[in-house]
Chain A
Amino acid sequence: MMLLSIRDLVKHYGAGGFFRRSEPPVRAVDGVSFELERGETLALVGESGCGKSSIGRTILRLQEPTGGTAVFDGIDVFSLDRGALRQLRRRMQIIFQDPYSSLNPRMTVGAAVAEGIEIHRLARGPEVGRRVAALLEEVGLDPSYARGYPHEFSGGQRQRIGIARALAVEPSFIVCDEPVSALDVSVQAQVLNLLADLQRDRGLSYLFIAHDLAVVRQIARRVAVMYLGRIVEEGSTEALLSEPRHPYTAALLSAVPEPDPASGRRRIVLGGEPPSPSNPPSGCPFHPRCFHPAKSDRCRTERPVLRAVGKTFAACHYAESTPTQVPH
């Protein structure tokens, strides 16, 4: 059985309610489905406004979904009451992008890491301190750091603390919401290695949200590319990167700056701007910026669905002939 199964997930912001403003709702997530096996990493990739962060938070019910289902280990997450949800929270955790706001500046590191232990009464008295020390060591930090406050630590160290905090409740699934985007290159590598090691040692499953395809390639075996609230392409990382079938994937791939001046990759420079999720284009959401030579009226009127093409699943009417290079 799949560890996590998401069906037709929908999350709209700002819709309805007596006290709400009268503006069109932001359709952050507009019908997303995917599955995650135990011990695997699925990456969600996209640019700002594509909805990837909203998915992570909605699965954990940090926000209530507008529609769809999420089944975690056979349990229907969205129908749980508060008490049962609290129990489930032990098994699903999250680490955040911004190391500077992910820790309460008024709490010591030890208190932050111990919070989950206290909430779920996993230990008492001196045992709590022992667990905290063990967790800090596991993420590569000196246990004496427990007495310090977040502002004494660097971005990379704070991310590790956040990871230790998530691990404290012994989850089997962690949503990694752009955990390395705000870190320096060499620190990024340390944290990525740590995440990979933890996955191996604890059998963790990750939903890895990112915008950097090179990072994704390093850590995820499968990847789903998102655009404007939908998945536009999905498949194994190797397949998707070697033979992208959706034009947006090809453009993303081409835009990744590669430290190799002689790589000879031709650049696809997308025109236009990332669109607004409160006012999506009709038909295929990508059509205003699409450079596919076969682009037609059908793209403006009919929304493509995900279907198997080549080695991946892509939502494009002309996916069979997507160019990976554009005569520029």
Chain B
Amino acid sequence: MTRVLDVENLRVSFPDAGGRRFYPVDGVSFRLDRGKTLAIVGESGCGKSLTSLALLRLIPPPGRIDEGSRIRLEDTDLLALKSEDLRQVRGRRIGMIFQDPMTSLNPVFTVGNQIAEGILAHLPVSKTQARDRALQLLQEVGMPDAPARLDAYPHQLSGGMRQRVMIAIALAAEPDILVADEPTTALDVTVQAQILEVLDQLRARRGMAVLLITHDLGIVAGRADRVAVMYAGQFVEEASTSDLFALPSHPYTQGLFASVPRISGPVQRLAPIPGTVPPAAAWPSGCRFRPRCPKAFEKSHTEPPMLPVGPGHTMRCWLAEE
């Protein structure tokens, strides 16, 4: 297992109205390995998107990554990089695709132009070579009739096609890591399946590490090797995908499973998690899930660390000690 990215104790802070800092990402640690997919699953407000932005140091001011966070890309400390070196990393070592392909592409340039731009920014090739490369990339991401699409403008393409273009741009400079932040949420179900298939094939063929951010447990089931469930700025459970689905251990994870409608199995009344997600500026004290947890007990007033549940399976819950 070749480790390519190491994140330790990542904390991102923002100032609130009174100027004090709060932590929407509060102590996240994980690693990415070549050729493997890690999925971070969580609902809105859990901090998953900020986590992915932090990797490329794209946190918008006045937010910032806190001291004590560590992000190492192989031997490079990403947090210590100067802006020119950081620019080299963005795109060249880590590629990113965003949720909404409608707004992520520049409407006044052709897609071929935008892909080539990504290539030219990082690789010492000529414009013609870049254009050829762009065509290859479009074919690689499964764009139908790629030669014609090369000179199309974004508004002429459908949502699925635009997302393919986004992927092509992200891959343009041959990154080792691909970060996909909700890549299929805005797409139709059948197109979603196509895009996920493309991502999977690319990962296998290029040996990239993939970080997949999503709220959809279903996507995770088929496509990720390991899963981390995120709640209130922290990972609350982490395991291989099969282990997580076989034995969801954290009460939040269990709650998520119980509240998702199923396409097979008996139709039962859904059991939603009571209450709502707490705001980042006011995380509950102790275990952050305690106010909504059906299994809360006295020890829940103390914040739990990640504790082992089984081999390669941890959760942030005192119940692990039972």
Write the residues of chain A forming the contact surface with B, with a CB cutoff of 8 angstroms. Answer: 47-48, 154, 156, 184-190, 192-193, 196, 211-215, 217-218, 241, 251-263, 267, 269-274
Contacts and interface: CB of A to CB of B under 8 A. Distances in A.
A192 B245 CA distance: 24
Given A255-B189, A261-B241, A189 B222 contact: no
Contacts of A190: 272
Contact of B194 (A259, A260, A269): A269
Interface residues of B, number: 43
B261 interface: yes
Interface string B246-282: 0000000001110111111001011111001100000
A184 B259 CA distance: 10
Interface in B134-190: 144, 158-161, 188-190
Contacts of B255: 186
Interface in B271-312: 271-273, 276-277
B222 A185 contact: no
A256 B272 CA distance: 21
B270 A261 contact: no
Contact of A186 (B43, B160, B222): B43
Q: Which 10 A-B pairs have the closest CB atoms?
A: A257-B218, A189-B272, A189-B259, A47-B188, A189-B270, A218-B261, A259-B217, A184-B43, A255-B193, A214-B261
B104 interface: no
Nearest to A238: B267
Interface of B: 43-44, 144, 158-161, 188-194, 197, 215-222, 241-242, 245, 255-257, 259-264, 267, 269-273, 276-277
A325 to B, nearest CB: 14
Given A186-B273, A257-B222, A261-B241, A252 B260 contact: no
B245 A255 contact: no
A258 B256 contact: no
A13 to B, nearest CB: 18
Contacts of B160: 273
B23 to A, nearest CB: 21
Given A211-B189, A214-B263, A261 B144 contact: no
Contacts of B161: 273
Contact of B261 (A192, A251, A253, A260): A192
Nearest to B197: A269
B260 A259 contact: yes
Contacts of A186: 43, 255-256, 259, 272-273
Nearest to A213: B263
A193 B269 contact: yes
A120 B193 CA distance: 47
B269 to A, nearest CB: 6
Contacts of A214: 218, 260-263
Nearest to B142: A271
Nearest to B271: A189
A269 B197 CA distance: 8
Max chain B Cβ within 10 angstroms of own Cβ: one of A154, A193, A214, A258: A258
Contact of B221 (A184, A196, A215, A261): A261
Given A156-B276, A214-B262, A262-B245, 7 more contacts: A192-B270, A193-B272, A241-B263, A252-B189, A256-B189, A256-B263, A257-B217
A261 B245 contact: yes
Contacts of B216: 185, 257
A267 B189 contact: no
Max chain B Cβ within 10 angstroms of own Cβ: one of A211, A212, A260, A263: A260
Given A257-B216, A258-B263, A154 B276 contact: yes
B257 A270 contact: no
Contact of A261 (B159, B191, B242, B257): B242
27 contacts: A47-B189, A154-B276, A156-B276, A185-B215, A187-B276, A188-B259, A189-B261, A189-B272, A190-B272, A192-B261, A214-B260, A217-B261, A253-B263, A257-B216, A257-B221, A258-B262, A259-B217, A259-B262, A260-B221, A261-B222, A267-B193, A269-B194, A269-B197, A270-B193, A271-B194, A273-B144, A273-B158
